Structure 1
Amino acid sequence: MSFKTILVPFEQHDLTNSILNTALLLARQFDSYIEGFALRVAIPTAFALGDVGPLPIPALEEEIAENEKRSQSLFENFMQEHGVPCGAATKSLSSAWLGNAPEGDYFVGSHGRVFDVIVLGRPGRDPRGPRMTTLEAALFESGRPVLIAPPSPPSQMGTNVLIAWNCSTEQARATALAMPILKRANRVIVLTVEGGAAVPGPTGQQLCRYLQLNEVAAKPLTVGLDGRLTGEVILFHAKALGCDLLIKGAYTQSRLRQMIFGGTTRYILSNAELPVLMAH
């Protein structure tokens, strides 16, 4: 597997530049094709009296159409400014815009099934920014990994990688899907948090052996909680080690449980300052 095809659902907000830069960093490593489309929420309707039924609001439809034009222009201008040919998919570095994409987050997951990775922004509290519903549609509906861009555009990615090992199926899958990046990395650390959120399974040392047999020079690191949350420990060590990418399985605990009680995935999604490759 390689990351030859990259999907970028496009919205205009403060993280747009970081999302595009994160996608481009990955694309340059693999000579990838980047496809963008305008991500839009479902159109509300106004109900008229009589037998005519529901009618779409013309002003809103016009605004959405204008927003898609602006999004396409921003996407294509970014690609042109960074030397990425725009207009058609090729086997070398290239890009294209998908017009008239269906509305709603579900399309992110369904269309994402025919791409190697989906690049999204880190969800936050700003209602005008990236939404958690979009990220979860990508994670749960596409069957593909999701690369989450940090708030600020990264300058490099994938040279110094941290794997947040918790022995889970989700983490094993995320690690396997990240293999093309891991094989190119200068350093790969497998982090185990003793006493942290984990499930029964292979140790970090066993994962390192698996990676080493696959030509990844991985080294184990075991640390304690020291009164902190698991997600807090992971991000602390990612920063302390100078890592430029975190590999994390998503939602080992259920989404509902994490929504109510919190969890490692939720903490990382709320606080990560580096790119995170996630898979469920």
Structure 2
Amino acid sequence: MSYKTIVVHLDTSPNAHPRLEIGLRLAKQFGAHLTGAFAVFSPDPRSLYVMAGTAEYYRQHEETRAERRAALERLFHAELRRADVPGEWVAIDEPASLAVPRAGRCADLIVAGQDNPEDPESYVGDFFPENLILSCGRPVLLVPYASNERSTGGRVLVAWDGSREATRAVHDALPFMRMASSTTILTVNGVHEFERARIPGADMATVLARHGVQVEIVDIETGPGGSVGEVLLSQVADSGADLLVMGAYGHARWRELVMGGATRTILRSMTVPVLMSH
């Protein structure tokens, strides 16, 4: 397996440029076709007209967005030529929460962005990353809005708990791990162990070895109430990993949103790109 079709979600936010850069780099690395899927959040202008003075604001806002979209499209095609990567630009006039999962179902990998609460232009829908991961059926590489990483996938950290979601994520990340200089399987024990009979990290390491991936196994014990998400963030920082691989929403999504959970912690506080599968 390799990534031969990559879809990168683009919008009018400043974070679209780092996503495009990563998408281009991965398409070059894996010999893939890159689709730039441009989709944004567009409020119904009729809902704004009922508010005095908003009509002119909406018109100016749409003009600014159109200029940014045109500039980004020119950049996309110029970067494709520079990198000698095959690809296409697709502008979709429907909500990104519908458009991106649909485009991604015809891809091997989707590149999207972490929510940035400080940037209104990055808003494309409520819980966009979560819904994309749960609905697209493909691995999603989420790029943090505050990251300055110049590489992705050279040093891979795998969060392993033996779940179905983690299994999907490990196999979806095989193209990265085959090319990585190091891969570490991290298991975090002592938290909710009663919920499933865990499959040891060594068993998954044996499977990966048959794919030519040599891994290190790290097992961390936490006490009652320990946060798996916080452990993962600490291990990313301590190990120098530039890609975190994990399954998303091992519990019911409503439970994680209400009570927390590793997925929610990582989505909120990621510091390196994260490949998530469900």
TM-score of the aligned structures, taking structure 1 as reference length: 0.84
Contact 1:162 1:188 in 2 (8 A): yes
Offset of residue 16 of structure 1: 2.2
Contact 1:110 1:142 in 2 (8 A): yes
Letter in structure 1 aligned against 2:132:
A
Q: Which structure 1 segments of 5+ residues have no match?
A: 48-56, 86-91
Aligned equivalents of 2:26 and 2:153: distance in 1? 8
Letter in structure 2 aligned against 1:121:
G
Aligned length: 265
Offset of residue 74 of structure 1: 1.8
Aligned equivalents of 1:31 and 1:76: distance in 2? 22
Contact 1:19 1:153 in 2 (8 A): no
Match of 1:270 in 2: 268
Aligned equivalents of 2:277 and 2:7: distance in 1? 15
Q: Which structure 2 segments of 5+ residues have no match?
A: 48-54
1:196 aligns with 2:191: yes
Offset of residue 214 of structure 1: 1.6
1:178 aligns with 2:173: yes
Contact 1:112 1:138 in 2 (8 A): no
Contact 1:36 1:97 in 2 (8 A): yes
Offset of residue 7 of structure 1: 1.2
Offset of residue 141 of structure 1: 2.0
Aligned equivalents of 1:73 and 1:102: distance in 2? 20
State the Cα RMSD in Å: 2.5
Aligned equivalents of 2:5 and 2:260: distance in 1? 33
Match of 1:279 in 2: 277
Offset of residue 189 of structure 1: 0.4
Aligned equivalents of 1:197 and 1:187: distance in 2? 29
Letter in structure 2 aligned against 1:133:
F
Match of 2:227 in 1: 229
Contact 1:138 1:144 in 2 (8 A): no
Offset of residue 279 of structure 1: 0.7
Task: Render the CA deviation track for 1:72-103: whole Å, top value 9, x for unaligned.
Answer: 42243155257546xxxxxx622321134433
Match of 1:129 in 2: 122
Distance change in 2, residues 1:63/1:128 (3 Å): closer
Contact 2:76 2:89 in 1 (8 A): no
Offset of residue 66 of structure 1: 5.5
1:147 aligns with 2:141: yes
Question: Higher mean Cα deviation, 93-102 or 152-161?
Answer: 93-102
Match of 2:11 in 1: 11
Contact 1:118 1:145 in 2 (8 A): yes
Task: Render the CA deviation track for 1:160-194: whole Å, top value 9, x for unaligned.
Answer: 10000011100100111111111111111000011
Contact 1:36 1:98 in 2 (8 A): yes
Task: Render the CA deviation track for 1:36-95: whole Å, top value 9, x for unaligned.
Answer: 132122542538xxxxxxxxx89857854762452242243155257546xxxxxx6223
SS in 2 for 1:200: coil
Contact 1:122 1:149 in 2 (8 A): yes
Distance change in 2, residues 1:197/1:270 (3 Å): farther
Question: Higher mean Cα deviation, 263-272 or 136-145?
Answer: 136-145
Match of 1:209 in 2: 206
Distance change in 2, residues 1:166/1:46 (3 Å): same
Match of 2:88 in 1: 96
Percent sequence identity over matched residues? 29
SS in 2 for 1:114: coil
Aligned equivalents of 1:5 and 1:68: distance in 2? 27
Match of 2:46 in 1: 46
Offset of residue 230 of structure 1: 0.7
1:106 aligns with 2:98: yes
Contact 1:124 1:270 in 2 (8 A): no
